[in-house]
């Protein structure tokens, strides 16, 4: 699949709290983007109609999909798969019933009120690396020093790995305000966003045994905090 990187947002003028994660083993010589199941790499089963809304109010209708490995919102144009080159210009992207924002990576909206947003960053990142031992057996020791060159740039994931590497899907939750400013949705984040309810939040966390690594627990706490 051809990839092009735009010099502008589109070719036409016209947005950490890790939870449970899946592991994918990419063996030496394999290309991560091909070794990891495509249904895990892309959020939508196919490129889906959506609208990108810029901070200046401009809009562009495209067929989008989110690439979890590269942390990119991609769109189709003339048979090519393109990546949004300047995501910092985005206000939001609506794809079907899903909304994405951009804050140090793409965030997918989980819940929203008139003032607050709960969002998640869903990424596939490199985990443990294994290299061949003295007898050709993969071990969990540290990898070669120049391995970082393979994944420093998103496009580099198309290179072959030189050793066995585990990739993992991670989820990081964020709280956002009406200006799309986001902070981590951990205990400190909830205290900062809902400072007037700090004592009640503290008690709720203890009574309900809130696990900030669990999406259902984070949603439950968000509902508690936004309940008027």
pLDDT of 137: 36
pLDDT for 29 beyond 90: no
First to last CA, the chain: 49
The mean pLDDT of 79-84, rounded to a whole number, is: 92
Cβ neighbours of residue 90 closer than 8 Å, sequence gap 6 or more? 9, 15, 52, 53, 54, 55, 84, 101, 102
pLDDT of 18: 43
How sure is the predictor about 22, in pLDDT bands with cuts at 50, 70 and 90?
Answer: confident
Mean pLDDT of the chain: 82
Query: Which residue carries 């502008």 as its tokens?
Result: 8
pLDDT (tens digit per residue) in 51-77? 999 999 999 999 999 999 999 999 999
What phi and psi, each to the nearest 5 degrees, are found at residue 13?
A: -80, 135
Greater model confidence, 5 or 70: 70
Q: Are residues 171 and 197 in contact, defined by beta-carbon separation less than 8 angstroms?
A: no
pLDDT (tens digit per residue) in 156-189? 556 677 889 899 999 999 999 999 999 999 999 9
Greater model confidence, 138 or 187: 187
Share of the chain above pLDDT 70, in %: 76
pLDDT of 162: 82
pLDDT (tens digit per residue) in 86-135? 999 999 999 999 999 999 999 999 999 999 999 999 999 887 666 544 33
If 0-12 CB within 10 Å is exposed, 13-18 middle and 19+ buried, where does residue 81 land?
middle
Query: Which residue carries 């994944």 as its tokens?
Result: 151
pLDDT of 161: 76
How sure is the predictor about 20, in pLDDT bands with cuts at 50, 70 and 90?
Answer: low
pTM: 0.79
């Amino acid at each position: 699949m051809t990839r092009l990187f735009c010099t502008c947002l589109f070719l036409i003028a016209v947005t950490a709290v890790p939870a449970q994660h899946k592991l994918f083993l990419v063996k030496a010589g394999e290309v991560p983007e091909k070794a990891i199941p495509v249904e895990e790499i892309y959020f939508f089963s196919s490129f889906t109609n959506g609208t990108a809304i810029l901070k200046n109010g401009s809009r562009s209708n495209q067929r989008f999909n989110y690439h979890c490995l590269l942390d990119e919102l991609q769109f189709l144009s003339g048979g090519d798969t393109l990546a949004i080159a300047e995501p910092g210009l985005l206000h939001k992207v609506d794809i079907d019933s899903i909304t994405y924002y951009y804050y140090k990576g793409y965030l997918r909206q989980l819940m929203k009120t008139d003032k607050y947003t709960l969002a998640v960053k869903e990424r596939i990142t490199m985990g443990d690396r294994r290299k061949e031992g003295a007898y050709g057996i993969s071990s969990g020791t540290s990898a070669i020093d120049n391995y970082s060159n393979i994944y420093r740039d998103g496009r580099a994931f198309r290179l072959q790995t030189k050793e066995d590497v585990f990739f993992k899907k991670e989820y990081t939750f964020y709280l956002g305000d009406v200006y799309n400013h986001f902070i981590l949705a951990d205990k400190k984040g909830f205290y900062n966003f809902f400072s007037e309810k700090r004592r009640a939040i503290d008690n709720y966390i203890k009574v309900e045994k809130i696990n900030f690594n669990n999406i259902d627990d984070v949603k439950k706490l968000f509902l508690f905090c936004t309940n008027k």
